[in-house]
Structure 1
Amino acid sequence: MKPLALVVLLLLMMTPVVRAAADVVPLPADKQAFGTARSAASPVWFTLGHQGLSEIFHPDLSTPATRETRLLVDGKPGQARTEPADDRSLTFRQHLRGDGWRAEITYVTDPLRAAVLADVRLTAQRPVRLSIDHVPMKGGSSLASTLPTEPVRRAHGTFAVGFGEGVAQAALDRGFDVVAREYARGWHTYLDGLKWPKSADRRLYDMSVMVLAATEDKANAGASIASPSFPWAFGFDRELAPELGPYALVWPRDLYHVSTAMIAAGDRAFAQRSLDFMLREQQQPDGHLPQNTRVDGTPVWTKVQLDQTAAPLLLAWHLDQRDKSTVDALRRSADFLLSYPNAPFSEQERWENQDGYSPATIASVVAGLVCFADLVQRNGENADRYLAAADAWQRQVEGWTATRTGPYEPKPYYLRVTKDGKPDQGTRYNLGDNNPTDIDQRAVVDPSFLELVRLGVKRADDPVVRNTVRVVDRQLKEQGYWHRFTQDGYGETADGRPWNINWPTPTRTYGRLWPLLSGERGEYELLAGDRASAAQRLREIAATANSGLMLPEQVWNGRGTTSATPLAWTHAQYVRLAWSLDRGTPVERPAVVVRRYLG
């Protein structure tokens, strides 16, 4: 057996930062795996695509440093199938096949340094030559490190991608087996310190928790990105996304969902770091949290979404964080909610391309204010003005967002948003995302209204809630899953081309089905007394996992699309619903809100 000893060295003496000048397009966003060491001494994360390593992130999770690193056999890549090599660590193996050859490559990172290692075993029916094709993000040139082997039929060896002088060689010098055992031990130790729910598939549950833990940046505690991927135009349209798109950023909403899942899983420290990041790094001087930030807290998109400003109020309550520093920061956010013009009107609701009165946003801010009031009251402070606003908005949510004159039955039912707080008027607006015409606001529904139930603002058996469930199922349920809202355009074209909003000519795109909405529906069904259906929702989410056990943002015909994969929010929803099933009630539901409005 011939040895294969390949080293890909990136001699990056300075921090690599990919800006608008980058001229390399990322690979498709449906990643087959995502991995990193538990150790903070290893600030490097890898993703796997369909032919080998896709983007590697370094020195942080907002910075993709490489595009791809592939094994070539006679100058050509193979097609890969990915699987976990160890169910209890983020160790992955790819089985590659090409013309007369096959290979297995196992991937880990060195817990001691910024290096990715790949162990290669190859057999061929004829003598073949092996090489490594390596493409950094910066500069666009392919840095192929040939270890032109003599023609071989069998080979076994390791190659490494390292950041910093001598890093790759130092990782190789330790030996793959030593590094892989240490890498796996870090994840085993982490999982050993947590609990797991009986309702979940153990393999997918453990993978979900590890993926969530891996989305936290190592230099910026508490900064958890939405996804290590760059779907569609966010990967190639530099006008739309100068820094390779928003998914490798920190969104307060996603961070909240991930944190509540981690609390349920037993990792409260993760959630505490997240809350600190929200309040110390993301919160702006006026108290609001921006749409998203880099992992260092630098705002990128700056629209105001009131539900994201409410997120730390809710998370602090779950953590019972009421020390003076935290409460002072939370007060700035609560005061912002009260002072925002026409609140709870929001510049953007949670799907981020419409302003207006949203039942989901209103649920978040009402629950957030009640939770904050509880914290300060238990500190001996007066919270009357926060409770007065919350009570008023809770009473008015139907008047602002539930229509009695819309086109669907039964009525009244909640709308996605109203532009004017007048749900019985046929106010028209454009849905964006390549929708060609305006639409009557009364014709647009969205499963997100269930936030009202999950957060304790309305009862599961409330007549308007039950009406809207029926309307949403008729309008948005397909193939066993749900669309985000009526005529959602955030997805691929009918023939599978990528979403973009800067087409030379208008091109219709179609938002597909979101597995995370099945999790939200399951939480509602638990509250409605239908545990069997809630358990089915958990199985439906699990069915969307790819062979590497990554859960996607969107699915179609039972498979993930080229949307963001893995999506942290989807993994978080799987974890949270599993624990909710075990406990018989949604674990995220704040009891103080339930007591106030539901008795």
Structure 2
Amino acid sequence: MLAAAPRTRPAEPLWRGTPMEAPGAPGIPPTWTSSDKDMVGASLGPSRLWFTVGHGVVNEIYWPRVDIPQIRDLGFIVADGKGFWSEVKRGADYTIATPGPGIPAVQILHRHCRFELALRIAPDPDRDVLLIELDLTGDADLAPYALLAPHLGGTGNGNRAEVFTNRGRVALCAEQGPFGLALAAADPGQRDAWRGASAGYVGTSDGWQDFARNGAMTWAYDRAGPGNVALMGKLPRHSVLALGFGSGKEAAATLAISALARPFEAAWREQVRAWEAWHAEKAHATGLPGEFHEQVHLSAMVLKAHQDKTYPGAMVASLSIPWGNSTDDPGGYHLVWPRDLVESAGALLELGAAEEARDALRYLIATQLDDGRWAQNQWLGGMPRWGGIQLDEVGFPVLLAAALAEREALGGIEAKGMVRRALAYLARHGPATEQDRWEETAGINPFTLAVAIAALVAGAEFLDEAERGDVLLLADDWNARIEEWCVASGSALGAAHGVEAHYVRVAPARVMSDPAALREVVPLKNRDRNPGLPAAEQVSTDLLQLVRFGLRRADDPFVRGTVRLVDAVLRAETPSGPVWRRYGGDGYGEHPDGRPYDGTGQGRPWPLLAGERGHYALVAAEDPVPHLRTMMRASGRLGLIPEQVWDGDQLPLAGLHPGRPSGSAMPLVWAHAEFVKLATSIRAGRPVDRPEAVWLRYAGRRPHPTHAHWAPWMPVATIRPGQSLRVLSDVPTVVRWRVAGRDDAGEATTALAALGLHATDLPTGALRPGDAILVEFAHTVNGERRIEVTEPVSPSV
């Protein structure tokens, strides 16, 4: 139990009293707030501030970059000072609106039987300040109190809070390291509005604890910290708040107080006007059914508002921390994932925001690592956070460059070097990936493979003619082997649903040399008990990318069978419509009893996947429009699309309702990008992100490659009759070969080939089915000659 803080004298203007240090250091362990956002927003002006709103109050504010949250929340208590008090974010009886679709200026009305609290929220367009207009009506003895929880530098630990006087004006301030904030207030006459203030430690001596224990604001502490701190101040019934950020409390207070010198209405009008003009310039809803206009505008705003201003082109995955009220994770989703960035930039390109898409490409060029890949995710400046390697995140930047080139929208960007390095990484490490797109499982994954093949084909357009042909041969070989690697026949899972053969979620890399590897167990992550399942018994929605990118036809028998299986085992019927889970046995989501994901849980349906299923419907000549409607219905109060929706029994105390947002990230920017892409794909009659070069080469048909490829990282077990066997190495190599049981033998030396690889073609075209060719590698390591004997490679029909 927490020890009660001592009761002190009644609150008074602390700048006149004796300084008092709050007790209870360092406070309880910090957490973030709920990721269930009502709205996110930013100014289109020079202001470097991004805000979020949830449960009717301000949540995290990010400054001076979109990856650094600086507060947990800024909420309000309404009280009469005689025992009655109500914290409005816990009341849940509020309405929220904006002046128009996709305009991030927020109007909130909290209702109670004794009062109404009206808020308007907008950023100052020119300063790093968020403005809040407050109007309390109702019982005359009630007053509003602001409650602010600083998390400067992205953490609730080590903050210092202070009631600070700056040139005669009071501000509630906090500092940590190079960051400072100040909350100033003015009444309608633009006079200092604070009627009392206090600083404290969260859970012991903060303002909320004061009301919880005393029914009124009775504590009056000047400062608290270092620790998990909070600030509270009493306000008049009509006032404007300005929360400013700077390099210290003085700098932040100067910005906040100067913002109050201009009428709130001026900042509000400027925010509305600027966003209306941006939407009008893009004209992104042209030609779409009217029911989707508002959601497209909202999604366009979400995409734009997640872009950074210090690093143009960088976009975080979400201005939220999944299950934030149960964790102090410093990263959350406010990091750059190359995959999410490219998916989002592609949507912006379809909305007519070509310059924003070009900025994303420039940013990716700048943050490409020396070996040609990108970090799994990273802070905006390019510093990696997680160390996994995902081949789709190597291929996606190539596809962005190709998409811009298709539209003649590169704008002079020289992307050849970036593309070549990325393709070289794919060729040296594919087709198996260390992690799939869900960042969990190694092996050969249909989604990742589709992206890698598409990148090889589309990226070949950037290469010199001498390299282009060899890269396309490799793409053809991988494409022709998709079923060899990723289709399971006769699985118990398929048999239970009348499906003879289906694409697996992921195949172990060993399947390249042994097809029986599909019977090997592949682990399931994020589960309390994790026995895993054989690869052949796992299915996911990832195969849909093969159709979307034009590698397979929608009516391909394996595709059709897998879609039936996916719909049977992963589709969840919700009040919002059908939504799909990622894969069977997924553990990333709330526990069945509603407890937040804590490293284990149960995966929930993703609206994003309803969009992907809609793209398949479009190609399969089905009606894709219901999938758009599902994404809209699964969104939050104002249209923010979540990462996941709840699919269990209704749990109102946990805020979990079937078909509605769960505690995962909201908004998920990738989901808004998918909504935009599906809407514009319906208008275009085809997937708008399908690379044209891929469609022209394959049009959904399996190729018949003239070459098979073998490498130490790609030890394929079979080649087709008539194919040449191209042996690849990353260093100069002598290749010795012979045909098992025959006198045929030879030796060849690799030569420098495409993408810096070394290659030689072995004369296998005349071999008969059943023949096995044995290959030896000889190369020099540290001056010593080494020999490596491969597994047999045998042609088959």
After TM superposition, the score normalised by the length of structure 2 is 0.68
SS at structure 2 position matched to 1:425: helix
Match of 1:13 in 2: none
The change in CA–CA distance for 1:85 and 1:104 in structure 2 (over 3 A counts) is farther
Matched, 1:185 2:268: no
- The CA distance in 2 between the partners of 1:184 and 1:423, in whole Å, is 61
Displacement of 1:157 in angstroms is 2.2
The change in CA–CA distance for 1:229 and 1:153 in structure 2 (over 3 A counts) is closer
The change in CA–CA distance for 1:85 and 1:140 in structure 2 (over 3 A counts) is farther
SS at structure 2 position matched to 1:258: helix
- The CA distance in 2 between the partners of 1:203 and 1:546, in whole Å, is 14
Match of 1:495 in 2: 593
User: Which of 537, 547, 550 pairs up with 1:443?
Assistant: 537
SS at structure 2 position matched to 1:207: helix
Match of 1:272 in 2: 358
Matched, 1:594 2:608: no
User: Which of 139, 148, 168 pairs up with 2:195?
Assistant: 148
User: Which of 80, 86, 96 pairs up with 1:82?
Assistant: 96
Segment drifting more, 249-258 vs 406-415: 406-415
SS at structure 1 position matched to 2:309: coil
Match of 1:392 in 2: 477
Segment drifting more, 517-526 vs 363-372: 517-526
Say which structure, 1 or 2, has more relative contact order (CA 8 Å, 6+ apart).
1
Amino acid at match of 1:383: R
User: Which of 321, 325, 348 pairs up with 1:230?
Assistant: 321
User: Which of 502, 519, 527 pairs up with 1:434?
Assistant: 527
Cα contact 1:128–1:153 (8 A) shared by 2: no
Residue deviations 1:310-362 (CA, integer Å, cap 9, x gap): 0111111100049684101110010011111xx21000010111001101100
Match of 1:115 in 2: 129
Amino acid at match of 1:155: R
Displacement of 1:103 in angstroms is 1.1
Match of 2:556 in 1: 462
Give the structure with higher Rg (CA): 2
Displacement of 1:452 in angstroms is 0.5
Cα contact 1:62–1:295 (8 A) shared by 2: yes
After TM superposition, the score normalised by the length of structure 1 is 0.89
Residue deviations 1:128-161 (CA, integer Å, cap 9, x gap): 1222111100435777858238999993321110
Match of 1:4 in 2: none
Displacement of 1:97 in angstroms is 2.8
Match of 2:342 in 1: 256
Displacement of 1:84 in angstroms is 2.2
SS at structure 2 position matched to 1:120: strand
Amino acid at match of 2:347: A
Matched, 1:331 2:420: yes
SS at structure 2 position matched to 1:383: helix
The change in CA–CA distance for 1:143 and 1:215 in structure 2 (over 3 A counts) is farther
Match of 1:383 in 2: 468
- The CA distance in 2 between the partners of 1:149 and 1:322, in whole Å, is 56
Displacement of 1:595 in angstroms is 1.4
Identity of aligned residues (%): 32
- The CA distance in 2 between the partners of 1:596 and 1:413, in whole Å, is 25
Matched, 1:70 2:80: no
Q: Which of the pair is proportionally richer in strand?
A: 2
Displacement of 1:376 in angstroms is 2.6
- The CA distance in 2 between the partners of 1:394 and 1:235, in whole Å, is 45
- The CA distance in 1 between the partners of 2:669 and 2:272, in whole Å, is 21
Segment drifting more, 313-322 vs 451-460: 313-322
Cα contact 1:317–1:371 (8 A) shared by 2: yes
Cα contact 1:51–1:96 (8 A) shared by 2: yes
Match of 1:56 in 2: 61
SS at structure 2 position matched to 1:87: coil
User: Which of 626, 630, 655 pairs up with 1:540?
Assistant: 630
Displacement of 1:425 in angstroms is 3.4
SS at structure 1 position matched to 2:674: helix
Cα contact 2:99–2:272 (8 A) shared by 1: no
Match of 1:504 in 2: none
- The CA distance in 1 between the partners of 2:613 and 2:547, in whole Å, is 10
User: Which of 123, 127, 140 pairs up with 2:141?
Assistant: 127
Question: Which consecutive unaligned segments of at least 5 residues does structure 2 have?
Answer: 1-26, 80-84, 153-157, 164-171, 173-192, 198-215, 217-233, 647-657, 702-797
- 4+ aligned runs moved over 6 Å, structure 1: 141-144, 149-154
The change in CA–CA distance for 1:22 and 1:213 in structure 2 (over 3 A counts) is farther
Cα contact 1:220–1:296 (8 A) shared by 2: yes
- The CA distance in 2 between the partners of 1:141 and 1:105, in whole Å, is 28
Cα contact 2:641–2:672 (8 A) shared by 1: yes
Matched, 1:415 2:504: yes
Match of 1:221 in 2: 312
Match of 1:6 in 2: none
- The CA distance in 2 between the partners of 1:383 and 1:335, in whole Å, is 12
SS at structure 2 position matched to 1:193: helix
- The CA distance in 2 between the partners of 1:143 and 1:574, in whole Å, is 45
Residue deviations 1:59-115 (CA, integer Å, cap 9, x gap): 111100011111221254213443324324111122213461111111110110100
Q: Which of the pair is proportionally richer in helix?
A: 1
Residue deviations 1:369-407 (CA, integer Å, cap 9, x gap): 100112335xx5541221111111101111111101312
Cα contact 2:194–2:235 (8 A) shared by 1: no
User: Which of 12, 28, 34 pairs up with 2:34?
Assistant: 28
- The CA distance in 2 between the partners of 1:400 and 1:318, in whole Å, is 29
Matched, 1:38 2:44: yes
The change in CA–CA distance for 1:425 and 1:382 in structure 2 (over 3 A counts) is closer
The change in CA–CA distance for 1:88 and 1:442 in structure 2 (over 3 A counts) is closer
Match of 1:12 in 2: none
Match of 1:511 in 2: 603
Matched, 1:564 2:650: no
Amino acid at match of 2:527: N
The change in CA–CA distance for 1:423 and 1:373 in structure 2 (over 3 A counts) is farther
- The CA distance in 1 between the partners of 2:547 and 2:133, in whole Å, is 49
SS at structure 2 position matched to 1:121: strand
Amino acid at match of 1:211: V
Cα contact 1:223–1:250 (8 A) shared by 2: yes
Cα contact 1:411–1:467 (8 A) shared by 2: yes
Match of 1:160 in 2: 242
Residue deviations 1:162-201 (CA, integer Å, cap 9, x gap): 0132111111111110011111111111111112141352
Matched, 1:96 2:96: no
The change in CA–CA distance for 1:235 and 1:244 in structure 2 (over 3 A counts) is farther
SS at structure 2 position matched to 1:491: coil
Cα contact 2:102–2:300 (8 A) shared by 1: no
The change in CA–CA distance for 1:312 and 1:381 in structure 2 (over 3 A counts) is farther
User: Which of 303, 307, 310 pairs up with 2:392?
Assistant: 307
Match of 1:585 in 2: 686
The change in CA–CA distance for 1:248 and 1:324 in structure 2 (over 3 A counts) is closer
Cα contact 1:491–1:512 (8 A) shared by 2: yes
**Cα RMSD (Å):** 2.3
Match of 1:18 in 2: none
SS at structure 2 position matched to 1:517: helix
Cα contact 1:24–1:67 (8 A) shared by 2: no
Amino acid at match of 2:626: Q
Matched, 1:405 2:495: no
Residue deviations 1:487-529 (CA, integer Å, cap 9, x gap): 111000111111112xxxxxx6111110011111111111111
Match of 2:614 in 1: 522
SS at structure 2 position matched to 1:418: coil
- The CA distance in 2 between the partners of 1:143 and 1:259, in whole Å, is 42
Match of 2:518 in 1: 425
SS at structure 2 position matched to 1:560: coil
Displacement of 1:235 in angstroms is 6.4
